[in-house]
A and B are shown apart, each in its own frame.
Chain A
């Protein structure tokens, strides 16, 4: 009996919490208390899991006592437990923010009673996807989180949200169908869907079948992770949702796709078979995404485009399949979850204070609310990769790994990465200049709310209600907490990079994972491709 056998609780607790909050649907105060308590306990449990995996190595739990490869297995390794901790921390901050917003608005504007159960189910789905050691269970995890996200993205059922929701639902369902087709094909080819078992058996297939299955999985996950050219849906659908929902989607959902891509590339299909196409996709994702961001005049849309663009960095790190590259990608995922979520939370606050998130309407915020300026400035600089923030460290790691790899394509990506970083700074600086430094009167269409509100008032009229607290302490506090978490990633970047590198090493090695699931005497097949110069260099570090 070790600590890892408590891993299923990371999924079960939020689901039980969802059931409980559903029963408490008429008591919003109890609902809030339950959901925050459940997420806190889950977060503590996952910290404990991370610590135990750090000491004891990868562990697997057989659900229902069915032995692998027949039963469902949950695997806790360094990468998955790290992702669990970060995702739970971020979702807890967003939950506190959302309850703060609900309390300030008197819970009348949105059907908040539905929000809490759905949100907890979303968290359960994310945890299930991270823990799953079985392809079909991964699909179920995706479906749990997607179904919850369908409800959250159309919360309130207003016209724009329904329009955005349709795009989102249809694209997600199509990607899920692709994933399911890939699972069916993989089962047909190998007779198993256990990922550790697949790692052994997929190597025996002939090259053509392998490539087909590989491409199908990558396309399905690429849609979920918003990799260009499969990213078109994201900027259309994310910005209209309520601020906390957009924040948690931006932070977590695309990263679950990236996580699945990492597992596909390292565990199921190791080697460099599709590295070159992945690198090209990464380059296009970075550059096209950030060029899209520069054209936007709405802050939420701009941030959605930077989100797409920065997915490119993670795919770049993954596509190198060296320890240095993958380690930097893991670090970047952790950094980006935190930073992108905090930026969307701050944008929610901007919308509250200034009445709009459009840069044509909102202005002069630096004077209206200096706190907001600080809260925006730190993660914004972090995103753009200004030293000494973690964004800079992550990008530096990626660029170093790219130069170490030394292929022409890697150099092209290094140049693309630097360019994207600079353009991100430009996009962010535009937001700063327009929304924060410009006088309200200079805005193209200044928001009447903005002009009407006296500069030092803490309350105002919003959406037909008077005396709404503009910046409730809970909302500012949770945003501040997340921004500080982002700063802590910078301060503790050394240990974090060590964890990231070690988890990358473990993932590329594969033996720990396979042994944990199938027992110590399971054979670990060699990585198929023969010559990988970057691997040797990176592995020696």
Chain B
């Protein structure tokens, strides 16, 4: 006895066609590919069962080696049932895609595309904060906000000097503490200074 070469060749051809088909974008072809793969696998299971023999119905006079192995056939039956169910479900999905989108194509994940096209610059995380928006002014903490530290020096002794008018707006904020706290709070309003006014990347 020998291995059934025809079955093996058919199995190889089915695998090759199946793999080719599931790489297509058309859903119907993908489904056909999956069916071919399932059937190729059934042939593989059959081939692993060994040589063909008698039907495995017990008979006292037949030596055990003459029967064909029943287990692979049980496995194949189960896998046929499973692939039948999956095929029916896939057909349902394909029909639904057709109803919804009028096309038999695998569609791209829109959110995935959007994330991929988003620039690495994130307005909220990465942009420079132009004005201190905290309710605790930097000057009070003693950190290094250069413009803010300068202002009390220029505006403190001589209030209302014309040259420091550019920083006058900041001087109003940092000069009078209680007023400033309110102002700082009001600075946190949406879209004002702490958010880059540029349009977000890939917003659509």
Q: Which residues of A contact B (CB under 8 A)?
A: 136, 140, 143, 147, 150-151, 154, 157-159, 162-167, 169-170, 173-174, 176-177, 180-181, 183-185, 187-188, 193, 235-236, 239, 295-298, 301, 360, 434, 439, 441-442, 444-445
Contact = CB atoms under 8 A, between A and B. Distances in A.
B22 A180 contact: no
A174 B37 contact: yes
A162 B48 contact: no
11 contacts: A147-B86, A150-B86, A150-B89, A157-B100, A167-B106, A169-B89, A170-B30, A184-B41, A187-B71, A297-B118, A442-B195
Given A136-B75, A180-B41, A187-B45, A163 B190 contact: no
A134 B104 CA distance: 39
Interface stretch (B109-117, B139-147, B160-168): B109-117
A149 to B, nearest CB: 11
B44 A181 contact: yes
A11 B191 CA distance: 56
B90 interface: yes
B22 A170 contact: yes
Contacts of A169: 86, 89-90, 93
B97 interface: yes
B109 to A, nearest CB: 5
B152 interface: no
Closest 9 CB pairs of A and B: A188-B48, A441-B190, A184-B45, A184-B44, A184-B48, A163-B107, A143-B82, A159-B100, A236-B109
A444 B100 contact: no
Main SS class of interface, A: helix
Contacts of A176: 82
Q: In which size bucket is the chain B interface?
A: 35 or more
A444 B89 contact: no
B52 to A, nearest CB: 15
Contacts, number: 103
B171 to A, nearest CB: 27
Given A170-B30, A444-B203, A180 B190 contact: no
Interface in B41-82: 41, 44-45, 47-49, 71-72, 75, 78-79, 82
Contacts of B45: 180, 183-184, 187
A259 B23 CA distance: 30
Contacts of A147: 82, 85-86, 89
A162 B41 contact: no
B138 to A, nearest CB: 21
B43 to A, nearest CB: 9
B41 A177 contact: yes
B173 interface: no
A146 to B, nearest CB: 8
Nearest to A237: B109
